[in-house]
Structure 1
Amino acid sequence: MKHLKSHTDEALVVLLNNDDERAFLEIYDRYKDELATHLVRLLHAAELAEEVLQDVFMMLWEKRYEMDASKSVPAYLYRSAINKSKNIFRKIANDNRLREEFLTYFRTANNNIVEEWMENKEIQQLLQTLLDRLPPQQKKVYMLCKLDGLSYKEVSEKLKISITTVNSHIRNANIFLKGELKNQSELSGFLYIILILLVF
């Protein structure tokens, strides 16, 4: 495979289109370390980053006939990595068991991780922007329950509204916020899941 090191990415893709495993291995060797570093920064979890890395290159091989030699290989790999990361985060966000496992993982690594997230300026700004889009009463109920940690009963008594009304506000806020987060395509995968974990 040594002689392939001098090949351009374009030449390697042409070989890849023709089932050349050596070309695939050369692309893997050429970009795996850089992509792995990017994934660790994105996911903040080395094991998860390794899993996504392998998935990205597996997909590269599976779609070798579709690869366009005129397109950038690293751009393709990075785009695939981001898409796979977001899919993982969305799966975690929508699965209570996975969400708890994810939080447990970070709490084990760092007992102050949630507090650090809440102190992160970017997270604070994004969270505030999302909450400001809620109707005033809904926002007040949501913040008392989710951020201040009051029970539905305590919020009901504090605001002089029924527990049913509190529950309705929380349910509608969750629907709205989850929809807003899914539309935040500019968020990094890590920020996406952290916001999901903090507000739901």
Structure 2
Amino acid sequence: MQNIPHSEEELLRLLADGDEHAFQVIFERHWDAVFSTALLLTKSGSVAEDVAQDVFTMLWEKRASLAGVGKLEGFLFVSARNIIYSRFRKLASQDAYRQYILSCFREDGVESAQEAAELRELDRTIQQAIRLLPPQQQKAFRLSRFEGMQHEEIAVTMGVSRITIKSYIVQAIASLRKAIANYPSGAHLLICAVFLLHS
């Protein structure tokens, strides 16, 4: 493992270049603060954890533009707040949104047969992208999404810390979202896929 500098500026520069070790250092330094901020604003542990993972997924996805960030802590706080506000705005249409997602998997009618075929093709694309993940990320993601294991259980199984597992899963989700970003299928199926890849 390479020597990671402790300067925030250097870490952000390395992160902008795609350095996974720098990402993990930042993740471990700031996870608790981002989670605490989200918990304070949402009053829900499960929602706060989702928000924190969304923040770090965004951080990895937009890493190339982060070298110029002046204060990472402030950037993460604003990102968490914006994600929470966005979630609150969606609450009014939450039931409609869930029904929309469920409609992707309906089994009746000609249209649904076509959608089922498209969904199977999209699933093949996602499975291929999973196979291309680094081994540790792939294992953590599979144990989480396909085996239904909690982060604590995965950490014990893989012999690493819980926060390292969170980091692996966040990076895996970011990679998989990128893999389906330009998928030629209908927008509704992409929404289904992103829903399935929600952190």
Q: Report the TM-score, using the length of structure 1 for normalisation.
A: 0.45
When Rg is computed on C-alpha atoms for both structures, the one with the higher figure is 1
